[in-house]
Every structure is written in structure tokens, then in C-alpha cells.
Chains A and B, each alone.
Chain A
């Protein structure tokens, strides 16, 4: 606990140097950004590996770094199933949408829709993107800001400013060029910090890696696959494979924050290869993140874990919760019992000895979990805040147990992950505002220089909105949930419209009504069967939009 609230100056120096480098590099890359093609699509000049790493960095948010590892520690490997559809989606997009979008030489995905279906469909999809991503961008900043604020004892406004201000600065100044090249460096620091943490964990564990895996397996942390056909569960093989494929198709195929990346590639083959590259590494990288969490769980089997991982909540419980001290003492007893059982498990010489030790281990694991839940409920009653502390497991481990320098590297990596995701969103929000609304509806005669200025102003304004939303989202935990649900209402339907755009039979009115029908179908599912996982909403939306769109296109065409 000594390191909580204060971090060694060397760690802060690393974090400070990293933030300064980001802004400097953004300014350095601002050449040619006074021209529209340069600012919005980097002159369509980026090599495939830059685009690929940029796509990966954008997808790797701070929550992947801290929440993903926390999820591995508390829930094991099953989260990996969420990504099963990603490689499939990348391959499908590589041979379908990417050639259309890149070949059309558009600045936004929605601009492509107008050429095919008219201004109504373009404006509605662009508007839905701005609405959902504008709010979502705030929640991307809020999630790590809350964790930093709780851990370092800051006001959340400062944490939001630390993440938001440098990101807005380099995105405004350097445009896509700066964002994409910085993404490459951000990806390097993210992977370097993950590898450093794995090495540290393997050194610090008092048992061999094989023994550690046996302990993790006994606690159910290595269960990666669940083949049950349960529509309500997001993390099953089938939800991940089918629902996940549709979600990833929507995200990578129709979301401007992703599309803008591969529009900046030199050519269609380079754009395709960049997508395949991120498909290459996503599952192994995500498995590494979750495995780090599993190793942290094992580490805490042999080193006493905190009962509550959120240090702010731990303080509240110590100072104000009657009965917390007793709960804490009981919890530590169970954890001591769990450690002894783990040692017996590792030393077992026969199957019966092993089975007995595993039984004891599970008993202490479950009964300790019950006590922890009681403590979380106590804190929830006192603070009225969400007590879910998955996001605090990793930062707490890093600050308490990582050597000087590595903690700073990890904080810098979390900032890198947050900034790369936010910068891509700001780029995309500003481009959509400037191209799909300002130039389309307000100033049709605007020259390139004016559009670049409008994009820069829009980046700043969206950055400000995101920071304000972030500060308020912190106090409205349920807002994040609402924003995520809101996106799932139309994500699949927008994918349906893009699929229709590639079908020669589809017509403008059919596509527009198909989009509305898709959203209506998803809303009906949400209201009639609220238990169904949001991953399936994308399937429902996309299929309905395509079927209705094609059907109505056929009817509309006949009289003509």
C-alpha cells in the first residue's frame, strides 16, 4: 500500500516524457496537413503495416489494458470468445467493402452511401455515428480517468485533462497522419509493457509456470470455451463466432473511426493486408492480456491480495464501515487457507491427494469470494457508487509490486492505449462533421482550406464535448451502459445498408426503409427479450435491413 497515491519520481518522469513526446511528434508530423487529402486521409500514402498497427492501437483502449487483465484475474480466459469473429470479419471485409470504399476515393464511409442511395441515407447514418460516438468518446476517456483518480487520489477533472488535452492537441495539429504514426509507437509501448509485466510475473511467482497454471485451472480461470447455445450469455463460442462476426463487420466496415484508417492506405491491396495484419494478432494479443490477468490471480494466491482493489473504497470501508475489520480478518484467514491448499496441490504425489487439495482450494476460493462480496456491498451502501473493481486489479498490482520504472511504463502504456482510441474517434467525428454536414449542407462551395479549418475546429469542439461527457460520465455509471446499448440499436442495421450498397438490385428508398426496419427490429428484441446478449442485436439488425431493403427495392422498381 505504500506506493498508493504516490508514485516514484522516475515513474512520473517516464509518464511526463511520454506525454510530451506525443505532442511533439504530432506537431512534427503536421506537414502537408493544410491540404484536405493530407489532413483527412494522409494523402492516401500510408504503408500497410502503419495502417494495420493503427487499427490495432485504435481497438486497444485503456479498458482493454486494465479491464481485460482484471477480467482475466477475476473471470479467466472466457472473454477471448468475444473476439472469435474478428479474423473472419476482416477477411470478409478485405474482399467486399474495402475495395468499394477505397476505390470510391471518398473521405467518409457515409459519403459512399450518398453516391449509391442519396442524401437521406448518408445523413441519417452519419448523424447516428456522431451521436453515439460523440458520447462514447467521453466514456473512453472516463474509464481510465476514474481509475487514475481513485488510485492517485486526484480530482477526476485532472485525470480527464491529463488524457484529453495532449490527445486533442496532437489530433488537431497533425490530423490522420500524426494519429496513425503515433498509433505505431503507442502499440510498441503497449506490447513492451505487457511483455515486461509477463516477465516480472514469472520472476515473482513462487512456483513454476506449470504449477501456476494448475492453480489457475483449479480456480476455473483457464476455461476459455463455452459451447452452450445460450443467447443471453455474451461470452459463448456461438455468440462470439456469429454475433461477434457481425459486430466486427459493423465496427471495421462501417464505423468512420476504423474506415478512415484504411482509406489512408496507399492502395486496395495494402488496405486489405492492413486489416489481415490486425486479424493476425488480435486473438493472440487478447489472449496474452487475459493470461496476464490469470497470472496476477495466481500471484495473489501466494501473496495476500487486497480485499477491495479500489483504494478509495478500501479507505471508506476502513474508516466508516462497521464490521469491515472483522470481515477483513476472516477474508485473510481464507486466503491463508487457499495458499496452503495451493501448496498442497503443487506438492501432491497421488490423484487422491491432488483431488483433496483441489477441493480445499475451491472451498477457500468460494468462501473468500462470499466475504469479499459482503465487503463490496458494505462499501456500495456507504458510497452509492458501483463497487465493481475489475478495473483496479491490474493498476493495483502494478503500483504495489512492479519495480521502479516498469510502473511508469505501464501507466504510459495505458495512456497510449487511451489516447490512440480517442484520437481515432476525434479524427472521425471531425471528418464526418466537416464532410458530411458542413460541406454537404452548410457550405457546398467551401474550398479545401476552409474544410481543413472546419475539421480542426470540429476536432477541438468534439474533444471538449468528450472531456465534459467524461467528467459527468464518472458520476453516472449507468450512462456508459446506456451509451453502449444505444450503439447496439443501429450498428447492425448500418452494416445492412452497406451490404445493400454492394448489391446492384438495392435502391435508395429500399435501403433507407431497410435501415429503419433494422433498427425497429432490434428495438423490438431489446424490449421483448431483454436477456438476449447485445452481440445478437447486430445479427438481427443487419439481416432485417438487408431482407427489407431488398424486398422494398424490388417492389419500388416494378412499377417503374
Chain B
């Protein structure tokens, strides 16, 4: 009965993890630029 809802929840969680991973990578790259190249 709840299979579609479970699937939806799992998909949302997966997307959420990916979104946060992209943010962390983007912020890490910006941090690296600041730490490496700022004099």
C-alpha cells in the first residue's frame, strides 16, 4: 500500500543528499581558492 510513498521518500532523501553534496563541494572549492591564492 505504502510502496509509492516510500519510494517517493527515498527519492527525496537521495536528491537531498546530492544537493547537500554539491553545496559542500562548491563551498570547499571556494574555500580552497581563498586559502591558496589570497596573499
Contacts and interface: CB of A to CB of B under 8 A. Distances in A.
A539 interface: no
A272 interface: yes
A287 B37 contact: no
A77 B31 CA distance: 11
Given A218-B39, A269-B12, A276-B19, A287 B34 contact: no
A80 B31 CA distance: 12
A281 B12 CA distance: 17
A487 interface: no
A201 B30 CA distance: 20
A273 B34 contact: no
A280 B30 contact: no
A220 B39 CA distance: 8
Given A77-B33, A216-B37, A218-B39, A283 B23 contact: yes
Given A87-B20, A222-B38, A280-B19, A287 B26 contact: yes
A32 B34 CA distance: 52
A94 B38 contact: no
A223 interface: yes
A343 interface: no
B28 to A, nearest CB: 11
Given A269-B11, A273-B12, A280-B22, A77 B38 contact: no
B12 A217 contact: no
Contact of A213 (B12, B18, B31, B33): B33
B36 A287 contact: no
Given A77-B33, A273-B12, A283-B27, A223 B38 contact: yes
Nearest to A286: B26
What does DSSP make chain A's interface, helix, strand, loop or mixed?
helix
A279 interface: yes
Contacts, number: 63
A214 interface: yes
Contacts of B26: 283-284, 287
Interface in B1-39: 8, 11-12, 15-16, 18-20, 22-23, 26-27, 29-31, 33-34, 36-39
Contacts of A91: 16, 19
Nearest to B18: A280
Given A223-B38, A284-B26, A279 B19 contact: yes
Given A269-B8, A283-B23, A283-B27, A276 B16 contact: yes
B30 A214 contact: no
A223 B35 CA distance: 8
A320 B34 CA distance: 42
Nearest to A269: B8
A358 B39 contact: yes
A287 B30 contact: yes
B33 to A, nearest CB: 5
A7 interface: no
B35 to A, nearest CB: 9
Interface in A79-98: 80, 87, 90-91, 94
A222 B19 contact: no
Nearest to B22: A280
Given A87-B23, A287-B30, A276 B15 contact: yes
A280 B26 CA distance: 10
Nearest to B38: A217
Contacts of B38: 217, 220, 222-223
A217 B29 CA distance: 14
A87 B19 contact: yes
Contacts of B31: 224-225
A283 B27 CA distance: 8
Listed from nearest, the 5 A-B pairs whose CB atoms lie closest are A217-B37, A224-B30, A217-B38, A222-B33, A218-B39
27 contacts: A77-B30, A77-B34, A87-B19, A87-B20, A90-B19, A91-B16, A213-B36, A213-B37, A216-B37, A218-B39, A220-B38, A222-B37, A224-B31, A224-B33, A224-B34, A269-B11, A269-B12, A272-B12, A273-B12, A273-B15, A276-B15, A276-B19, A279-B19, A280-B18, A280-B19, A280-B22, A283-B22
Given A220-B38, A276-B19, 20 more contacts: A87-B19, A87-B23, A90-B19, A91-B16, A91-B19, A213-B37, A217-B36, A217-B38, A218-B39, A224-B30, A224-B33, A225-B34, A269-B8, A272-B12, A273-B11, A283-B23, A283-B27, A284-B22, A287-B29, A287-B30
